[in-house]
Structure 1
Amino acid sequence: MTSPAPKPVLIAGAGPTGLMAAIWLSRLKTPFRIVDKHQFAADTSRATILHARTVEFYRMLGLSDTAISEGRVIQYLSVYSDLKELVRREFGEIGAGKSKFPFVLMYPQDLNEQLMIKELEKEGVNIEREVEVTGLVQDDDGATVSLKHKDGTEEKFEASYVLGCDGGHSTVRQHTNIKNDPGTYTQRFFVADVEGEVAVGLENVNVCFTANNFCLLFSMPNGRIRLAGWAPDEIVDTKFTYADVEENVKVTTGANITKVHWFSTYQVHHGAAQTFRDNKVFICGDAAHVHSPVGGQGMNTGLGDAINITWKLAAVLSGRATPEVLETYHSERKPFADRLVNTTDKVFTIATDKGLLGKAWRTVFMGNIVPLLFHFGFMDSFLFETASQVRIEYRSSALSGNNRISNLYAGDRLPWVQFEDGSDNFEPLNSLDWQIHVYGEKNDKVSEWAQERKLGVHYFASTQDVQAKGIPKDAVLLVRPDGYIGHVVEGSKVNNLSQLQEFMDKWGIKSFSS
């Protein structure tokens, strides 16, 4: 007797996080609905950057080439003080050897959304707009979600699980026991898309400051100029327009703006929810954590949340993993979110302080120390690895189980390696499935074991670069659907393969193709 089909997953929110969740569930053939209370997708955006780890995820979905062609690789980072250039650092290959995408990609949120919406349309997915979550009741079998449609009709929808991807003021979260009380910086900020003439290079991301002011300036893929900075002290508590910041922008960046296409003001919130799960509900993106714009981490982190939870939901609902796998979403994503909030909070607080500490940071640290660090190359690796999210790891996750060989840990992102023929070890990850990697000699025992479990098995040469990145010769790696190491054993002896089997049995893991 066949078991009944699982109830669909409900995704609340069709921003980048919700759209990414929808694509993964669609690719893994998991039933779902995606709803959004807004009539249209965003046509403006504060988030502008895709980092290397996110572009790697896009590659797994076949979307990276489009994103790169539509976006713009940042070529230089420049720091200006009183219109004098202190630093000009090449940025186009800052992470060379660490990723196929060793750069920072300017690809705003609205373009990200358009890309993913088109992909979902190809797959026949309907995004239900002007449909609002108004209530949610959970039980052991799932969640009953109250939905209000644009014509006023109300619906009770039975979902297996609910993904709250509906932003910092998440309605889904409000109907759970998840506690969330983010702080708010008193300083108000502005963001604007403009046209005009500038005194700094538009091929750069320009960090411009004086002792009393600060502004970012860079060119967007659509040819417009993006400005971001803070409001003058005297209008912090009032509504303001570009005219109120125009003089500060001119003094700080040397820009003469001729046309303002879009102007928005906001206050920055910071903090993470105490838990990312309440029974059948998971929260992702801004619903789970909000933080300052330092490093352009927000959108990228939300996309990572969506990927982490959706492959696990797909596995559990299809009987290819035990429900305990879902517990690892919180334990894997929450620690990173906390570190991110704390780190960006400290940097943001100092950088935007208008007292003596902030002035010292802008004049002494940015004006003297940062140029030296860049000059001697000390910042390149640190900046890339910190901002790109390639260093995110899940070693403490129960799913990783303290498993390791030497310095290669379960829970690490699979180290990226490119070979002499131009191929790399990330190519097979587009299967979005569990797979075996062996770096060394081909082994029939491994191939037979993997074939019996319908796991793809991929052999790679144990090159100097492979070993330099911590992958022991002939080690057998079981790689997760999201490109992180699930389990690793030495060689291919029978007892080592049995360790892999014990791991899979413990978590009920089966290939999505089984």
Structure 2
Amino acid sequence: MEFEMSDTTVVVAGAGPTGLALACGLRAGGVPVRVVDKAEGPSPTSRALGLQPRGSEVLDRLGALVDLPQRSVHIGQVITHVNGEPMARLKAGQRTKLVTRPGLIISQAEVEARLRRRLSDLGVEVEWGREVLAADQNSQGVTVRFADGQVRADWLVGCDGAHSRVRKAAGIGFPGVAVIERFLLADVRADLPLPRDAVSVWLRGDQMVGAFPLPGTDVWRLMAPAPAGTAEDLEPDGLLAALAGVLQDHARLPAAVAREALWTSTFRIHRRLASSYRRGRILLGGDAAHIHSPFGGQGMNTGLGDAENLAWKLALVATGRAGTALLDTYQAERRPIAQEVLKSTSAMTRMIVGETPLARAVRDRIFVPLMNRPLVQRLIWEKSSQLKVTYRNGPLAPRSLPNWSTRGPHAGDRVPDLECVRDDGSPTRLHAELRSHWALLLPTTSEHPCAAIARRHLGETGTVTVLTPADPRSQQIMLVRPDAHLAWRGTSPAALSQWLTRTLGATTTPGDHAKRPCPPP
């Protein structure tokens, strides 16, 4: 088996949302990358369909959001019926001080298409029909084996799903349990007398059925637990008939409501979490690292968060600006987020399905009515948006780091999309300047020694964007990471230099970046 000639620094296995987003972030940071996938081409089916505000932010910073909001269904409410009667209308898209973007329903296939287009603009095409069969690593790199050859790379990232070959090759465990045995799914064309800006759910005893509006004329996703006695090998017509029966029983809708099945599937809800996100030069992201219930629409968004967090860290390491220890902070920051998502989505699933008579009584009489309360609605919406994700008190924002003020974000918190001014006086917004860049927020537009310090550690001009908040309320300086989380705040250039030196721990001299240099696109 021969080696392919390659100048690849990173091989990404898996061309789903996580792998594509990671590749976009790495390539925009000037890192040579290849994306391989065992499939023969892009999947046309919807699979995941919830894009939370955090997921939209990530795609926007990658330059891949484009027209997805216009092509999506904007969800304004979740209507929950108990025993056939509407009992709660949870407002899911209201604008709050924290959340300024709507929740979107859009096919995963559409998200992947936009990410592939962005990656192509950055000079990389997905290599279809290339399944990772094995991977061997040493201290210098990873040999990735395919049926038709092998490639040597500095790093391998497995974004290849729940059955990840990369995870298995790295010897990383994936413990977990089944939450619900089996669900039925179908995307259909149907005449449903339901609002198109709402997710509709019906609960009756231990049964439930959900209807989600999809982009397109009269297109819906139907989902329900498989009725007892349902055959394992259901054909699409049989699966659709089973879902229609559930709709008729619980939603009082005609059995012939669906005109055409566009896609059908069955799945089992599992809760699994990788024992580690990194082993040597092999890392994991997305479903290869965590799988959980789809309730709440957190899966694709959590994977996009993994990708953005890892991209800027791996880019710094791959270009020689940081030591490999920085990659340990990827697991330290992202694995607790996945643990919380697994916990919350599993609890939501058990609450919705109602595993015992007592659980169903509590659901119907307490939890569902509570969803009508404005405070509860705001708390649920803000949590599901993922904009409350914080890395405060993590390895890059230890408790010992002074916060200086109780006002504004603390180290590790997400920084809001502030109105800012560039050094040439033109207006902009913070998140628009974070496309694989860091941002240094200064209280004035005049040159500051912190700018030179940040650029010396993080790269040449262009890697660190200097901005001034349009409404500077303090004299503090803020260094914002490419994923929009606050890295450091303070007033002392010396303190900033110390923080960067400690955090990056670079073992090479900035400027002698990569063994195989690649200019930023």
Report the TM-score, using the length of structure 2 for normalisation: 0.86
The 2-side partners of 1:6 and 1:497 are apart by 38
Deviation at 1:60, TM superposition (A): 1.3
Report the residue type matching 1:299 in the other structure. Answer: M
Deviation at 1:501, TM superposition (A): 0.8
The 1-side partners of 2:43 and 2:33 are apart by 22
- Residues 22 and 32 of structure 1 are in contact (CA less than 8 Å); yes or no, is this contact kept in structure 2? yes
- Residues 198 and 254 of structure 1 are in contact (CA less than 8 Å); yes or no, is this contact kept in structure 2? no
**Are 1:231 and 2:226 an aligned pair?**
yes
The 2-side partners of 1:221 and 1:422 are apart by 34
**Equivalent of residue 196 in structure 2, options 178, 188, 202:** 202
Report the residue type matching 1:166 in the other structure. Answer: D
For 1:468, the equivalent position in structure 2 comes to none
How do 1:5-84 and structure 2 match up within 5 A?
7-84=8-85
- Residues 198 and 253 of structure 1 are in contact (CA less than 8 Å); yes or no, is this contact kept in structure 2? no
The 1-side partners of 2:455 and 2:166 are apart by 42
The 1-side partners of 2:477 and 2:367 are apart by 46
Q: Secondary structure at the match of 1:132?
A: coil
* Deviating more after overlay: 419-428 vs 55-64: 419-428
For 2:467, the equivalent position in structure 1 comes to 458
* 1:320/1:99 CA distance change after superposition, 3 Å: farther
The 2-side partners of 1:353 and 1:44 are apart by 30
**Are 1:87 and 2:96 an aligned pair?**
no
The 2-side partners of 1:283 and 1:201 are apart by 39
Sequence identity (%): 28
The 2-side partners of 1:187 and 1:352 are apart by 12
- Residues 450 and 496 of structure 2 are in contact (CA less than 8 Å); yes or no, is this contact kept in structure 1? no
Report the residue type matching 2:192 in the other structure. Answer: V
For 2:384, the equivalent position in structure 1 comes to 387
Q: Secondary structure at the match of 1:315?
A: helix
Deviation at 1:324, TM superposition (A): 1.5
* Deviating more after overlay: 104-113 vs 338-347: 338-347
Deviation at 1:213, TM superposition (A): 2.1
For 2:152, the equivalent position in structure 1 comes to 158
Provide Cα deviations, 1:77-134, integer angstroms capped at 9, x if missing partner: 2222344322334433x24332442x20112211111111122223331211111111
Provide Cα deviations, 1:151-192, integer angstroms capped at 9, x if missing partner: xx3x12111011000000000111113111221134310111
**Are 1:180 and 2:158 an aligned pair?**
no
Report the residue type matching 2:397 in the other structure. Answer: S
- Residues 17 and 306 of structure 1 are in contact (CA less than 8 Å); yes or no, is this contact kept in structure 2? yes
The 1-side partners of 2:10 and 2:18 are apart by 15
* Deviating more after overlay: 294-303 vs 232-241: 232-241
Report the residue type matching 1:499 in the other structure. Answer: A
How do 1:294-309 and structure 2 match up within 5 A?
294-309=295-310
Which sections of structure 1, spanning at least 5 residues, go unmatched? 464-471
Which of 1 and 2 has higher RCO (CA within 8 Å, sep 6+)? 2
The 1-side partners of 2:294 and 2:317 are apart by 35
Deviation at 1:502, TM superposition (A): 0.9
The 1-side partners of 2:14 and 2:432 are apart by 31
The 2-side partners of 1:386 and 1:35 are apart by 34
Report the residue type matching 2:229 in the other structure. Answer: E
The 1-side partners of 2:337 and 2:388 are apart by 10
**Are 1:433 and 2:437 an aligned pair?**
yes
Deviation at 1:367, TM superposition (A): 4.7
The 2-side partners of 1:65 and 1:332 are apart by 28
Deviation at 1:271, TM superposition (A): 1.8
**Equivalent of residue 244 in structure 1, options 242, 245, 251:** 242
Report the residue type matching 1:42 in the other structure. Answer: S
**Are 1:500 and 2:496 an aligned pair?**
yes
How do 1:475-486 and structure 2 match up within 5 A?
475-486=476-487
Which sections of structure 2, spanning at least 5 residues, go unmatched? 1-5, 514-518
* 1:312/1:401 CA distance change after superposition, 3 Å: same
The 2-side partners of 1:188 and 1:236 are apart by 11
Deviation at 1:450, TM superposition (A): 5.7
- Residues 12 and 18 of structure 1 are in contact (CA less than 8 Å); yes or no, is this contact kept in structure 2? yes
* Deviating more after overlay: 421-430 vs 199-208: 421-430
Deviation at 1:412, TM superposition (A): 1.1
* 1:452/1:267 CA distance change after superposition, 3 Å: closer
The 2-side partners of 1:188 and 1:318 are apart by 46
The 2-side partners of 1:39 and 1:233 are apart by 36
Q: Secondary structure at the match of 2:35?
A: strand
Provide Cα deviations, 1:197-229, integer angstroms capped at 9, x if missing partner: 223322211122223421111210123111111
- Residues 210 and 362 of structure 1 are in contact (CA less than 8 Å); yes or no, is this contact kept in structure 2? no
- Residues 203 and 352 of structure 2 are in contact (CA less than 8 Å); yes or no, is this contact kept in structure 1? no
Q: Secondary structure at the match of 1:87?
A: strand
Q: Secondary structure at the match of 1:172?
A: helix
Report the residue type matching 2:241 in the other structure. Answer: A
* 1:245/1:106 CA distance change after superposition, 3 Å: closer
For 1:467, the equivalent position in structure 2 comes to none
For 2:187, the equivalent position in structure 1 comes to 193
Deviation at 1:47, TM superposition (A): 0.8
**Are 1:445 and 2:454 an aligned pair?**
no
Deviation at 1:427, TM superposition (A): 2.8
Q: Secondary structure at the match of 1:65?
A: coil
* Deviating more after overlay: 116-125 vs 503-512: 503-512
- Residues 132 and 165 of structure 2 are in contact (CA less than 8 Å); yes or no, is this contact kept in structure 1? yes
The 2-side partners of 1:261 and 1:447 are apart by 56
- Residues 46 and 191 of structure 1 are in contact (CA less than 8 Å); yes or no, is this contact kept in structure 2? no
Provide Cα deviations, 1:407-457, integer angstroms capped at 9, x if missing partner: 432111113345899954323223x2222113x444543576468644321
- Residues 211 and 363 of structure 1 are in contact (CA less than 8 Å); yes or no, is this contact kept in structure 2? no
The 2-side partners of 1:160 and 1:451 are apart by 26
The 2-side partners of 1:504 and 1:52 are apart by 30
For 2:416, the equivalent position in structure 1 comes to 415
For 1:466, the equivalent position in structure 2 comes to none
For 1:275, the equivalent position in structure 2 comes to 276
Deviation at 1:500, TM superposition (A): 0.3
For 2:348, the equivalent position in structure 1 comes to 347
Report the residue type matching 1:502 in the other structure. Answer: Q
* 1:290/1:448 CA distance change after superposition, 3 Å: closer
For 2:3, the equivalent position in structure 1 comes to none
